[in-house]
Amino acid sequence: MFNVVLFEPEIPSNTGAIGRTCVVTGARLHLIGPLGFDIDDKKLRRAGLAYWESLDVTIYESWRDFLERNDLFGPDGVIEAETRARLHLLTKKARKTYAGATYREGDFLVFGKESAGLPEALLADLPDCCERIPMLPDESTLENRSEWEARADELGGGSSVTSHERLQRRDICGNFVDPDDYRISALNLANAASIVLYEALRQTGFAGMDA
């Protein structure tokens, strides 16, 4: 059984759809707060349909709460190498791809919130856990790329030189891709979770994969 972890999810319909996927694949869902919606939100229930009632889901107050309650800390209070191998942090800032990772039953597939992904500090603490889903560059996918870039800069998270330099200074682990390769193109959270989960299931011999 795999564990799908959503870090501070913001859009209830995404979480509902991911919960539905977890049910049909036998995966557990972990929601790390603060959540951007109420757990009884109608949009969440609508996306999950009746599957939500059959879902194995746990809610946590914080990342630390998640680590502690799943016994992911070692005796000295740090995440040990053997435990890190069970964590897969999905981010656009990783060199390794999700398909190049090795999955084992019980692994945790961790996805960041829709607006910002996983925190930089978390990625820097666990660089060997970072993985990405390959995507085409913006110029190959977005006809209105310039409009996206302008909007991203307004929100403070765009592809400006200043943003790149700041990210580069924080890249102390050498694991992030070149900041100049920043891209706006991104998958919907529910799609990304399904892609990675099914690769993990394929590697571990999920029923029907070889049919």
Residue in 61, 119, 65, 64 with CA at minimum distance from that of residue 89? 119
β-sheet with 130-131: strand ranges across: 57-60, 28-32, 3-7, 108-111, 87-90, 130-131
For residues 36 and 115, state if they share a domain.
Answer: yes
Residue in 48, 118, 130 with CA at minimum distance from that of residue 89? 130
For residues 121 and 142, state if they share a domain.
Answer: no
Domain count for the chain: 2
For residues 173 and 191, state if they share a domain.
Answer: no
This prediction's pTM? 0.81
Mark the ranges of the chain whose per-residue pLDDT is less than 50.
158-177, 179
What was the pLDDT predicted at 177? Answer: 47
What was the pLDDT predicted at 170? Answer: 41
pLDDT tens digit sequence for 191-207: 999 999 999 999 999 88
Host domain of residue 53: 3-135+186-203
What was the pLDDT predicted at 169? Answer: 42
What was the pLDDT predicted at 95? Answer: 82
What was the pLDDT predicted at 141? Answer: 61
For residues 82 and 97, state if they share a domain.
Answer: yes
What was the pLDDT predicted at 140? Answer: 62
In whole angstroms, give the CA distance from residue 41 to residue 9.
13
In a domain, 64, yes or no: yes
For residues 173 and 110, state if they share a domain.
Answer: no
What was the pLDDT predicted at 171? Answer: 45
Contact assessment for residue 120 and residue 167, using Cβ atoms and an 8 Å cutoff: yes
In a domain, 209, yes or no: no
